[in-house]
Amino acid sequence: MNRAFVFPGQGSQAVGMGQTLATAFAEARAVFEEVDDALGQKLTKLMFEGPADDLKLTENAQPALMAVSMAVIHVLEKQGNFRLPGKVKFVAGHSLGEYSALCAAESISLADTARLLRKRGSAMQQAVPVGVGTMAALIGVDLPVAQEIAAAAAQGEVCTAANDNAPGQVVISGHTGAVDRAIAIAAERGFKRSVKLPVSAPFHCSLMQPAADVMQKALAEVTIAAPTVPLVANVTASMVNEPAKIRELLVQQVTGAVRWRESVLYMKAEGVEQLVECGAGSVLAGLTKRIDKEITAISLQNPEDIETFLKAG
């Protein structure tokens, strides 16, 4: 079976994530310890015990989610001798999950990935004062209509489609007033369900340019190798292998849209039959069912999931 491994983004975090892995597997504990050491912080304690408000802070949530994803990968490798090259056709991740995907494909080291995500989260948080920007999911709206609504709502401010997650689920991002206007326009057009997201900044829009500048400098100082499994990039929804291009796309990703629906369809067109979500939550597995019901999707986030997956071969 042709598989792709995919990695979740912000919003999938929850207090207690990764704890059953740490209890069951020394390999998972080693990942968490390495991330703690790289950051000089007991992030693992925050992941296991909370408080939730501290865990959901962007600069904590991003490396924490990556750590759980990498714990899953290391357990698969050590317990099941399951190595990605040869068994996985692509890796991909939603927003911060793209860093997890690159770490899983041995393109960026675990310690460097943790430090990059800490810097990315902090830079994204600081790029826009709290309250100035926001994000909202337009439910029942497809991408072209969402783009029209965002353009009509902008009125000189920033309002843009930020995440094309699945048919009928597009997230917009920008100035708070513009996003509020977009929600009103969507309602006028008969799209009654629009949900403001519980985020502290307007990710994946041009307001994030200061964070993109920070990441350009940070990424220039980090070694990026060719991934052992090709990456399907957020901003192009297509395959990339070259380290220089990966570096460039990671910078563009801060302000660019996450083209997740197109990424999944690209992988299907390339022969992928199953998406395996590695890490906290099952958001991406759920989106897969909405994007294309012919693709199977499973989530690996606890010891039982991993055992079942390895037994199935």
Catalytically active residues are 95, 204
1 contacts 280 by C-beta, under 8 angstroms? no
Q: Which residue shows structure tokens 């408000």?
A: 53
75 contacts 27 by C-beta, under 8 angstroms? yes
Q: Which amino acid is at 5?
A: F
**Partners of 172 in the β-ladder:** 136, 161
* Angstrom distance (rounded) from CA 279 to CA 45: 17
* Angstrom distance (rounded) from CA 189 to CA 18: 42
Angle in degrees, 0-180, between the axes of helices 110-127 and 97-104, rounded to the nearest 10? 170
Determine whether 87 is exposed, middle or buried from the number of CB atoms within 10 Å of its CB (0-12, 13-18, 19+): middle
Q: Is the bond preceding 202 in cis, omega lying within 30 degrees of 0?
A: no
Give Cβ neighbours of residue 36 (< 8 Å, ≥ 6 apart).
42, 43, 44
3-state class of 134 per DSSP? strand
Q: Where are the beta strands (DSSP E) in the chain?
A: 3-7, 90-93, 133-139, 159-166, 169-175, 194-196, 231-232, 239-240, 274-278, 296-300
